[in-house]
Structure 1
Amino acid sequence: MKILTKPFNLIRIILLILAIGSTLTFFIGDVASTRPPSSGAGGVLATILVGDRPDGIAYNPSNQMVYVTVLGSAYNSPGKVAVIDGRSNKVVTSLQVDSNPEAVLYDPANQQVYVTSSASVSVINNANKIIKTISVPFGAVALAYDSVNNDIYVASVYSNVVSVIDPSKNTVVASIAVNSPSNLVYDSSRNYVYASSDYAQTVTVIDASKNRVVTSIQACSYCDPEGLAFYPAAGNVYVANFGTGSVSVISDSTNRIISRLVVGNNPFGILYDPANQRIYVANYSSRTVSVINPSTNSVVSTVAAGNGPWNLAYDNANNDVYVTDFGSNTVSVIAG
């Protein structure tokens, strides 16, 4: 989580303190609680307690489990991955990983889950066993899956590198120099990987066929670009701008920003839901999730979430969206 492990400006510190400080939830153990669905479409269906400071999240359709990285009570605390059964929305097990776990990714080719920690990537099989730990450069914070080449990309923000893992061998096969990459997304139309950098205020474009940088897109001043999502129908990449409460839209045909949408305060995670053709944006300080119609590039709904919504995952079995709530130590389940 970049907001915890890097220097950042005073304004962001104040915003985060205000967002978290007044309503932190304290509890013992990993238990689940549910509440009735909201009357409107897209309401919160359940709230699941997972542990201190949940961060990354991913859904595994082969076993219908949701994997959540849990940072722990302090920086460098022993890390864990909470595993939620998507059919019951209850935590069924917890796995110990290296410190500072952040990103989670499901690889549909080998049906394994990948989790970043400070300088490693853990590989989890469908039986919820860690089968390998892969060393990567320090500061691993983001993952993306290349469905054409079946490769996994790992962003190491402090090492200024994006590593490429061959999941058939679970080894690093290439490294690409990128200025402070903090989030990743794969564009299946162009075979590109996009890497945001809130340090450099840029989005770097990598040609995955050659593993080379082809261009760098300048974000707006103080945008702090973070989460990324790809909308294949239009070939657009959506960028959550943490610093300005907006989402930029990049055309992959020109690699230029073509639109900017206003969302909630401090958006971080962003997700494309292919079933409903919607983009979901987690607004950290607003405690909401904005829903965007990408065909019109307009915000069509805003859903209340927990305290500090951070990252999102899509459950294609139940058509639900899972949101990590960093400030309340929970995961919210939103009806898609």
Structure 2
Amino acid sequence: MPLTTVADAPLTGRTTRWDYASLDPVAHRLYLAHLGDSVVTVFDTQERKVIADVTNASHVHGVLFVPELRRVYASATGTDEVVAMDPASLKITARVPAGDYPDGMAYAPEVHKLYVSDEHGGTDTVIDVRTNTRVATIALGGEVGNTQYDPVSRHIFANVQTRKQLVEIDPATDKVIGRIDLPDAEGNHGLYIDPSTRLAFIACEDNNKLIVLDLATRRVLSTFDVAKDPDVLAFDRTLGWLYVAGESGEVSVFHVQGHSISPLGTAMLGPDAHVVAVDEATHRGYFPLKSVAGKPLLRITEPSKTAP
């Protein structure tokens, strides 16, 4: 494994499940969904300490900092809604109804819309961020994994994990305009889109695979074994490093150079290390861990000196 732990920083709350993370590298803030405690934890990456816990986000799953809006959104699965948060005041400023079990989120800036994966409902909820109101519900025909925005096509893509498909949505009409079959997928949940290479990286939680899809040709380029029970993906574009974090505590790292993808290693990083965020300026990775010696902590890594 080409990663070295540089620090273990204490986190607040109980030893309960953490979920998605989102980084604001300019303000040096990391937003963490502490699902089991129903709070969004705000961590200062320079000071390496928690600066706030924003409460009243029931069973928070997804969290997304949107730089253009200077706003944080979090999906509160316990109440089937999305909450908007002001980073300046660290207060919740709006609540918007979502579908059944809202999870991952993606923002389409040209249309000022947030797209929310309603995992159990089989839909994507569409929220107009100018008014913080739900403006559409898109039926996807199966259990929904992660949703991502592609800035090249300006379209939204979502995993439909019970149909082994990646679905394409046109934000101008909020209609499904394409379905890409993924025959080797079993539980295609995690998703990351790299606009520079036009590649979609798809993590399959039920067969421990990473599928690499060329969005230009709609063809699968390659499939790799990854960390057991893969969940969240993160990409350091300056290094070309793709992180795949697993529920098993294992993490896989790949080097992406154009359409050439090579594994750098898979190893145990820490218990329940299924969430990762990466800072492209410092190349540090952030992994919230549920319980280490009976306490939650944030494991901070950087590339090893011997890494390629």
Q: Map Cα deviations across residues 174-219 of structure 1 (whole Å, 9 max, x no partner).
A: 2211122121111111112111133333221212232211222233
**1:261–1:297: 8 Å Cα contact kept in structure 2?**
no
Aligned partners of 1:189 and 1:158: how far apart in 2?
A: 29
Greater strand fraction, Structure 1 or Structure 2: 2
How many residues end up aligned between the 2 structures? 292
Aligned partners of 2:275 and 2:167: how far apart in 1?
A: 21
Aligned partners of 2:155 and 2:248: how far apart in 1?
A: 31
**1:160–1:180: 8 Å Cα contact kept in structure 2?**
yes
Aligned partners of 2:203 and 2:8: how far apart in 1?
A: 24
Question: What residue in structure 1 maps to residue 82 of structure 2?
Answer: 121
* Cα 1:320/1:149, change in 2 over 3 Å: farther
Alpha-carbon deviation of 1:123?
Answer: 1.1
Aligned partners of 2:84 and 2:188: how far apart in 1?
A: 28
2:282 aligned to which of 313, 318, 332: 318
Aligned partners of 1:45 and 1:144: how far apart in 2?
A: 30
Q: Give unmatched runs, 5+ long, in structure 1.
A: 1-39, 73-77
Secondary structure at the residue paired with 1:148? helix
Aligned partners of 1:236 and 1:243: how far apart in 2?
A: 22
Say yes or no: does 1:271 pair with 2:234.
yes
Alignment of 1:79-98 (within 5 A): 79-98=38-57
Question: What residue in structure 2 maps to residue 200 of structure 1?
Answer: 163
Structure 2 letter corresponding to 1:59: L
Question: What residue in structure 1 maps to residue 203 of structure 2?
Answer: 240
Q: Map Cα deviations across residues 242-292 of structure 1 (whole Å, 9 max, x no partner).
A: 122221011111323221122222211111222222211112225224233
**2:64–2:74: 8 Å Cα contact kept in structure 1?**
yes
* Cα 1:216/1:326, change in 2 over 3 Å: farther
* Cα 1:158/1:235, change in 2 over 3 Å: same
Question: What residue in structure 2 maps to residue 65 of structure 1?
Answer: 29
Alpha-carbon deviation of 1:303?
Answer: 5.6
Say yes or no: does 1:227 pair with 2:186.
no
Say yes or no: does 1:176 pair with 2:134.
no
Return 248-257 or 42-51, whichever deviates more. 42-51
- State the TM-score, normalizing by the size of structure 1: 0.80
Question: What residue in structure 2 maps to residue 153 of structure 1?
Answer: 115
Return 303-312 or 259-268, whichever deviates more. 303-312
Give % identity.
22
> Runs of 4 or more off by more than 6 Å in structure 1?
none
Question: What residue in structure 2 maps to residue 306 of structure 1?
Answer: 270
Secondary structure at the residue paired with 1:145? strand
| RMSD over equivalenced CA pairs, Å | 2.1
Q: Map Cα deviations across residues 133-172 of structure 1 (whole Å, 9 max, x no partner).
A: 1111221011012233332111111222111222222222
Structure 2 letter corresponding to 1:97: N
Secondary structure at the residue paired with 2:197? coil
**2:236–2:279: 8 Å Cα contact kept in structure 1?**
no
- State the TM-score, normalizing by the size of structure 2: 0.87
Q: Give unmatched runs, 5+ long, in structure 2.
A: 304-308
Aligned partners of 1:194 and 1:332: how far apart in 2?
A: 30
Alpha-carbon deviation of 1:62?
Answer: 4.4
Question: What residue in structure 2 maps to residue 187 of structure 1?
Answer: 150
Aligned partners of 1:182 and 1:334: how far apart in 2?
A: 27
Alpha-carbon deviation of 1:41?
Answer: 5.7
